[in-house]
Amino acid sequence: MATKEKPRRKLALVIGIGKYDHCEELQNPENDANDMSEALESIGFLVTKKLDLKRADMKHVVIDFEESIEPDDMVLFYFAGHGIQWEDQNYLIPRDTLTLNGADLNKSAINAQHILNTISDRKPYVTIFLLDCCRKYHLRNPEVDARDPDASGSKPVGLKAMHKAGSLIAFACAPGTIAIEGKGEKNGLFTKHLLKYITTANEDIRMILSDVTDGVIEESKSKQIPFVSGSLSKKNIYLCGQRRDQPRELELQNPENDANDMSEALESIGFTVTKKLDLRRAEMRHAVIDFEESIEPDDMVLFYFAGHGIQWEDQNYLIPKDIPTLNGAALNKSAINAQHILDNLSDCNPYVTIFLLDCCRKYHLRNPEVDVRDPDARGPGASDSKSVGLKAMYKAGSLVAFACAPGTIASDGKGQKNGLFTKHLLEHIKTKNEDIQMILRDVAKGVIQESKSKQIPFVSASLLERDIYLCSQQTKRPHKPGKYASKFYCSRLSESKDSHNNFTFESSLFLTI
């Protein structure tokens, strides 16, 4: 019996140091490290991120990272901060380096070649070293004060080339030259272009760095030229390999517009809106928890989601940005259970909970037994492999509106600004003194007419109150009406020229008083 190949682990140590105690501070490394960590996590890396480390702390972090490496792991080391070459050695400068006296660097800084050697000695599949730290410094040694403009040999410019079998080292600029920090921009120039390409699926790392190099050269007008040194024995090294269990051609065009327009509409009728975009699962869970904690008894609560939603085994799941797989059996750990959100919101005893879901689409999921993308697949579970639309949901005191009836799919509204359901929702949601059920009736009528009955919205109501107005004079409820609206969006779930098989999850959180 053939054994299933174990996926290769991908480990990354990301360090950014910009707040120096005794050296010139840098503006970009914290952003660089944060954004690089986020990008690497999105393609499956287990990331250790550290900021503004002192030398002793940095040594411990590197040791712990080295000890975590197992044979055949893919290992990536990224550093943004000050870096210095002295006597053919490259040093990474920790936060608390007291002096840039070249002769003291061995005791006050971290030798980059030593890190590379130690990591490589752990026998990883490959070691990728990314250094955005090639700048110009005036150093001192016991004989020569390098701050003297006439001093010869005292100004190290950039870093020197590094080599180690089985490794690839990329410098922000060629040996002996300096890098542009990116003042006035969020990221350093090298990291800016690295972030643009590093999540590209099925692209060899050497090709990725070639695109990075082209971008840096073009933007800097050849003032900065990245440099790559490789001693690789492997071919086709993909940081982001194609996930075979992810669906393709599922990019959604409208959720960003839906988010912006729904935000504007709700604000115009008295909702105070807090909008969050591109949430990963952990971030979405925290956002929902914070929203739930803010609700007080008798508040009006509205939750809206536009994007990808999946039904699996009678449960509806909302898909966050970083979902690693559409394996149905794994959705409970990789996606967000919509019924759980509805239950938790309703347990806060609001006046009413309104749940609006524009996420009923069709997916080919996988389970452990059957790859349902194979049209000839047969066997246990094969008949349950196609998730079509969402299932009905209920909770006392709530109203749940789906973009389409259970078991059917919704139109994304290609070629239009908004999804079809949200388009008609926007036309009616601001209607004054109109019960929400009447508003949704008008929405359903508009969707059915425009789609020629191909899409039929569905409402499930278990309301305990009458005459629920989103926009009214509040004559029926003179007591404090707290309005809360939580909105989440997921726009891209597929490989495209721009998204490179990343999941883009756009979400908005509305907390309204």
CA distance 510 to 276: 9
DSSP string, 247-260: -SS---SSHHHHHH
Confidence class of residue 140 from pLDDT cuts 50, 70 and 90?
A: very low
Instruction: State pLDDT tens for residues 7-16.
Output: 789 999 999 9
Determine the CATH number of domain 255-510: 3.40.50.1460
Q: Is residue 338 within 8 Å of 318, Cβ to Cβ?
A: yes
CA distance 45 to 48: 9
Residue scoring higher pLDDT (205 or 180): 205
Instruction: State pLDDT tens for residues 213-233.
Output: 989 999 988 888 888 888 777
Answer whether residue 93 shows pLDDT above 60.
yes
Predicted pLDDT of residue 314: 82
* Across 112-116, 131-135, 322-326, least confident range: 322-326
Answer whether residue 479 shows pLDDT above 60.
no
Instruction: State pLDDT tens for residues 348-388.
Output: 999 999 999 988 655 545 444 333 333 333 333 333 445 55
Q: Domain boundaries in the chain? A: 10-230, 255-510
Instruction: State pLDDT tens for residues 426-459.
Output: 999 999 999 999 999 999 999 999 988 888 898 9
Average pLDDT, integer, range 177-189: 75
Is the C-alpha dihedral spanning 449, 453, 454, 459 positive or negative? Answer: positive
Predicted pLDDT of residue 145: 41
CA distance 134 to 157: 7
Average pLDDT, integer, range 58-68: 94
Read off the DSSP letter of residue 5: P
* Across 93-102, 163-172, 259-268, 326-335, least confident range: 326-335
Answer whether residue 480 shows pLDDT above 50.
no
Fold of the domain built from segment(s) 10-230: Rossmann fold (3.40.50)
Confidence class of residue 247 from pLDDT cuts 50, 70 and 90?
A: very low
pTM greater than the 0.75 cutoff: no
Burial of residue 314 (CB within 10 Å: 0-12, 13-18, 19+) is exposed
493: amino acid identity, one letter: L
Name the residue among 175, 131, 161 with its Cα closest to residue 14. Answer: 131
CA distance 88 to 102: 11
- Lookup result for tokens 């001093």: 151
Name the residue among 294, 398, 397, 314 with its Cα closest to residue 355. Answer: 398
Predicted pLDDT of residue 146: 37
Same fold, 10-230 and 255-510: yes
Q: Is residue 418 within 8 Å of 259, Cβ to Cβ?
A: no
CA distance 384 to 312: 8
Helices (H) and strands (E) in the chain, counts: 12, 18
Question: Counting every residue, how long is the chain?
Answer: 513
CA 208 vs. chain centroid, Å, equals 19
Considering the chain, what is the average pLDDT of its residues? 77
Confidence class of residue 127 from pLDDT cuts 50, 70 and 90?
A: very high
